[in-house]
Amino acid sequence: MDERIIKTEYSEVMQKSYIDYAMSVIIARALPDVRDGLKPVQRRTLYDMYELGIRYDRPYRKSARIVGDTMGKYHPHGDSSIYDALVVMAQEFKKGLPLVDGHGNFGNIEGDGAAAMRYTEARLQKITQEAFLADLDKDVVDFMPNFDETEREPVVLPVKLPNLLVNGSEGIAVGMATSIPPHNLGEVIDATKAYMQNETITTAELMKYVKGPDFPTGGIVINKSELLHIYETGTGKIRVRGKVEVEKGKGGKTNLVITEIPYPMIGMGISKFLSDVAGLAETKKTQDIVDISNQTSKEGIRIVIELRKDTDVENFKNMLYKKTRLEDTFGVNMLAIADGRPETMGLKEIIRANVEFQFQTATRKYNTLLAKELEKREIQEGLIKACNVIDLIIEILRGSKDRAMAKACLVEGKTTGIQFKSKESKVMAQMLQFTEKQANAILEMRLYKLIGLELDALVKEHEETIANIYRYEDILERRDSMATVIIKELDNLKKEYATSRKTVVEDGEEAVFEEKKPEEMEIVVLMDRFGYIRAIDKNTYERNKEAADAEHKFVFLCKNTGRICLFTNRGILYTVKAGDLPFGKFRDKGIPVDNISNYDSSAEDIIYAVSQTALNLYRVIFATKFSMVKVVSGGEFDVSKRTVAATKLQEGDELLDVTVLNGQKDMVFQSVGGFFLKFSLEEIPEKKKGAIGVRGMKLGENDTIEAVYYAYPEGEGENETISYKSRNLDLHKLKSGKRDTKGTKIRA
């Protein structure tokens, strides 16, 4: 066989493959369809349960059976995605309208996952069966082959309400994501009816019915005035607060009780909230908390914070809104599949798409019903006509040799070969003109149908059929009639399944929290060589001075209201609030400085730490590995940013030393090659922090600076002797030179 090699651009192949993959994820996995509000995995799971007969009025079936059957027939993407979808559809705290009735451990609002699928059981909810899966036998939606073309599955479920709004949806595709909040069933139905009665209705008018999102966790939406823009554009941010109640506690104390949480806090957000509240007490942000307990149970959320007697409750509540996730944001992006492509839609567009879908399914449903009634009418008319000439029919049947001969006589009036009692019977038989279906029904008719009561029932049934035909034709011919039928179905759903609103929608006041300023005091900051930092009071340090100085790389005084400056070898300055440091006993463990700053211990090293107050009072000297030096006014580092460039470095260079100048006289460079250079600090010019500086020592080839020392005027420094290759060198006895010279070689 001849080989054909097709040459093409690699980039074109990659582009096409990636676009195909992206569209597959967008259309077939991650985004819901605007018509039924379901993702493919949800649709397939519900349809499989329907096919397996796991109805609301039948026993539960193992989740593993449902998952396995769905994966084998319709969704070959792994069992975990199917089970996750099944679990979410059964969780009342995630869905405004649960579609699956779960039996067993299906997880909880605090973030505990569901039990394994072999332990749990499930079945369809009643509303799922009535509003999502009904009429599938009436050709209301298209079916398509499954992945291996051995089964057929619905392209979309014939959902009778805007499920995309009722249950919302969340999903991440390729390059896009959807995030739609759940809404109240009764309100959505009312808005849908209002649109059907007036298709020119505005979004603002629709929002007289849909007040805003209705989260299953309750809570309070506090930006009501912004909702109109969100529902018109389909994007925006909804701010949600938890519901807080004040109760009297023991001994005159006050209990703050959280009974509803923001929807985004579902899951691990609750434990994070408890941790954040505890952190407020530990970091001395507040001293009002006596105790905190999570008393949440099946009855609902109950988080109790016990406060001191003299607590300003309103201020404390505002602090929770500001400092924790008790006030959170739900990002809205109402993106769904419409007409086979992803589209961001507003409230009206979603309702319009669903209403058009309702009319499409209703048209197909009543066309199917009409065809069945027309067929019934044809057969009924044939049977009634046959009963009027039953003696002739019996004579034809008795005189025929086979069924085909009798049928030919009934349909075409052929009497050849049939034995008749009289010529009149033969003439009458030749005048019969039954249709094929009527003839078949007559031939299959049982004798009991000739009883008088049975005949009366047939006539009555025929009248009902005629009435149904007129009704179905009216529904199909007049949009108003079809709208009336759809509205009646919506009313029935609302009457049986609507619940009262859980989420309050209002324009809440901005939480104003007046943070109590801590009493200003001097503290001592301790930081060890591993980057763990903490603070102790000055008296504690004095009692443990020797151990503190020996065990820590940096030890310095600072105000508890001030800031700490950390210089790294990359020439970066990180600032940290002293109030963010853990404050306690001498032997308490600190925290990694990475946790409270942008510093990355894996990429750089801290070479100097000092209080910002000290920097402001003095000048600062910088020295690099390539022997560049400069003096900078400390005031240049009085910045509010957490991260700034402290100096400019040449390529390959790094900062070796940063020191506050406070009485030093000389600077001493020690190179890797064993050269020492001592020169006066007065030779170093003052520069801006963005400057590289000047050369301090002339280095030989491949030589770099290894260490930097400072000498005070003789008699003022504490200990100015250094150890070099088993020798003790007195800095005062080193020969002084000039800046930018080679220095003196010192041998061991």
What tokens were used for 573? 């300055």
Contact yes or no for 575/564 (Cβ under 8 A): yes
Q: Between vectors from CA 330 to CA 325 and to CA 331, what angle results, nearest 5°?
A: 135
**How far, in Å, CA of 541 to CA of 556, rounded?**
10
From 18, 119, 231, 448, active-site residue: 119
What tokens were used for 239? 């701010």
Residue 119 annotated as catalytic:
yes
Question: Which one, of 530, 537, 523, lies nearest residue 552 by Cα?
Answer: 530
Up-side HSE of residue 69: CA atoms within 13 Å toward CB? 18
**How far, in Å, CA of 367 to CA of 139, rounded?**
9
What tokens were used for 258? 């959280």
Please count the other Cβ atoms lying within 10 Å of the Cβ belonging to residue 390: 14
**How far, in Å, CA of 47 to CA of 154, rounded?**
8
**How far, in Å, CA of 438 to CA of 386, rounded?**
9
Stated length of the chain: 748
DSSP state letters, 156-186 = S---SS-HHHHH-EEEE-SS-EEEE----HH
Up-side HSE of residue 422: CA atoms within 13 Å toward CB? 5
Plot region of 567 (φ>0 → left; ψ -120 to 50 → alpha; else → beta): beta
Neighbouring residues of 239: CB distance < 8 A, sequence distance ≥ 6: 221, 222, 223, 327, 328, 329, 330, 508
Residue whose structure tokens are 């298709």: 199
What CA–CA distances, in Å, run from 274 to 258, 277, 320, 562, 711?
11, 5, 11, 28, 53
What tokens were used for 474? 């009216």
Secondary structure of 364-377 in the HEC alphabet? Answer: HHHHHHHHHHHHHH
How does 533-566 read in b/e, with b if 16+ C-beta sit within 10 Å?
bbbbbeebbeebeeebeeebebbbebebebbbbb
**How far, in Å, CA of 147 to CA of 41, rounded?**
13
Q: What residue type is assigned to position 724 of the chain? A: Y
Please count the other Cβ atoms lying within 10 Å of the Cβ belonging to residue 254: 19
**Dihedral of alpha carbons 634, 640, 641, 643, sign:** positive
The DSSP call for residue 28 is I
Phi, then psi, of 747 in degrees rounded to 5: -100, 160
DSSP state letters, 443-496 = HH--GGGGSHHHHHHHHHHHHHHHHHHHHHHHHHH-HHHHHHHHHHHHHHHHHH
Q: What residue type is assigned to position 72 of the chain? A: G
Question: Which one, of 744, 646, 734, 733, lies nearest residue 688 by Cα?
Answer: 646
Catalytic residue ranges = 119
